[in-house]
Structure 1
Amino acid sequence: MKKIFLTTSALFIMGLATAQAQQTQIIAHRGFWKTENSAQNSITALQKAAQEQFFGSEFDIHITKDNVLVINHDADVNGIEIETNNYNKIAKVKLKNNEPLPTLENYLKAGKALPNIKLILEIKPHKNVERENQAVAETIQLVEKLNLANQVEYISFSQNICDQVKKQNPQAVVSYLNGDLSPQQVKSKGWDGIDYHFKIYQKNPTWITDAHNLGLITNTWTVNNPEVMEEMIANKIQFISTDEPLVLKAKLQN
């Protein structure tokens, strides 16, 4: 039988073609929470996302007045503003599935036990750049302490936060959420991707292709409508963040 030897260049081209043809991947928005005994931004939602073998689980963080990082979407918990209160004011809060409100440390430790899922960490904008910088510094320090730099990716609506993550860890993967910058502008900032609401892509139909041509990651949020899922898949978006990951999974399997 004739043996076939592939050059390094040929292998590289094959790898590139495989990467370009890769199917859209699923990111569970605030974890996989639309399932039994789960809740948004809970550790259970992270674990259930990993069980379903989704690419990633997205979650949101804020920093308390005494510099404890907590997982929560809104700026307040039961009417208590996170940023202006110490952690002890919210430490006993329970989620809808009766879990304690997670700290980032506890969430990351749970994620470390699930090495096949990416942890998509959204740092929320804060009242001023000093507090944003503190949140970034505490986050990067904790991620490095737990040796999770390769499992964590960062997203934010704040340009300052994106800049600070890159400043403190140039190897970090950082995507911008706000949708007000073109792919070219994001590339010039030195960030790694655009993670925009699907309506931004609908208004700017070349941006997904433009981003790919620039070597940027493309993601879209929060796509729960099956028709919009199909539209984004057809446009070769790399990642879709959704509250309906099983619906998206079924679409991708068709």
Structure 2
Amino acid sequence: MWHVSSAQSVSQVIAHRGAWKVDSLPQNSIASLHRAIELKCAGTEFDVHLTKDDILVVNHDNDFYGIDIGTATYDELLAKKHPNGEAIPTAEAYLREGMKQKKTKLIFELKTSKLGKERTLHSADLSVELVKRLGAESMVEYIAFDYDACKRIVELDPDAKVYYLNGDITPAQAKQDGFTGLDYHFNVFAKNPTWIRESHDLGLAVNVWTVNTEEGMRTLLNQQVEFITTDEPALLFEVIKQFKKENKKQKRTRNKD
């Protein structure tokens, strides 16, 4: 979800929890990461929690097949496996795998800890430390629902690309606090129809999640948002392809007139 040049007017594809749906892969697995890369997605989103013993792990829910992540050690989480045989990935292992290529960005969602603000901010500290240690700054962009966590990441790495998820902050406030852009659910932008344009006027990028219908995709393509997050990346690629063809045809028609 890096900045798109003004010449780039068509949204780019972000795979939600990796590209998992078509092949029934586990969400947030290394396999779904590989599939998103194979599809040539602009980015692939993954969710990061902190274990009791301060290991960052990749999983969407607060529990991993019934084991509560925040109150379990990493070794305890290894008692369970994904259906494809994978263990829960550490964020380090996930990033190292993603860094074997340079085209699909790694969209690092820092999850809010159920154990409180202090634990969430500690997760932010460890996340930035990990990314810097791996030299992954150019490949990683951060998203989070916790506003203070977003601000902490900016404080720790002013050059980091950080997007806020929760939908309750105006574009002007996000710009003031040094964020790269807004990453809101499509319903938020529907209720605040000026926010996409306001974001662009302020130089903020816009991502919209989670958009799984052709109608929704087309609406956002017409609004020229930079990125669309979807569980259906293959469908979005096809919609974008058709959208480009239609735009070219319309342009040729206008030129003839």
TM-score strictly above 0.5: yes
DSSP-derived class of the 1:19 partner? coil
For 1:92, the aligned partner's letter is: A
CA deviation after TM superposition for structure 1 residue 18, in Å: 5.3
Partner of 2:14: 27
Identical-residue share of aligned pairs (%): 41
Match of 2:198 among 195, 202, 210: 210
Match of 2:218 among 206, 217, 230: 230
Q: Over the residues paired in the alignment, what is the CA RMSD in angstroms?
A: 1.5
Match of 1:102 among 89, 95, 118: 89
Q: Unpaired runs of 5+ in structure 1?
A: 1-15
Q: Do the aligned partners of 1:37 and 1:97 also contact (CA within 8 Å) in 2? A: no
TM-score w.r.t. length of structure 2: 0.89
Deviates more, 1:92-101 or 1:192-201: 92-101
Q: Do the aligned partners of 2:9 and 2:224 also contact (CA within 8 Å) in 1? A: no
Partner of 1:242: 230
For 2:79, the aligned partner's letter is: K
Match of 2:177 among 189, 195, 203: 189
CA deviation after TM superposition for structure 1 residue 19, in Å: 2.4
For 2:182, the aligned partner's letter is: I
Q: Do the aligned partners of 1:115 and 1:151 also contact (CA within 8 Å) in 2? A: yes
Deviates more, 1:88-97 or 1:221-230: 88-97
Match of 1:49 among 36, 39, 63: 36
Match of 1:171 among 135, 145, 159: 159
DSSP-derived class of the 1:54 partner? coil
Q: Do the aligned partners of 1:47 and 1:114 also contact (CA within 8 Å) in 2? A: no
Partner of 1:111: 98
Change (3 A) 1:17 1:81: closer
Change (3 A) 1:86 1:188: same
2 CA distance for matches of 1:183 and 1:237?
Answer: 14
Q: Do the aligned partners of 2:196 and 2:225 also contact (CA within 8 Å) in 1? A: yes
For 1:24, the aligned partner's letter is: S
CA deviation after TM superposition for structure 1 residue 200, in Å: 0.6
Partner of 2:109: 122
TM-score w.r.t. length of structure 1: 0.90
Please give the per-residue CA displacement for 1:19-71, whole angstroms capped at 9, x wherever unaligned. Answer: 24431000000000023362210111111111111100000000001000100
Q: How does 1:68-79 map to 2 (within 5 A)?
A: 68-79=55-66
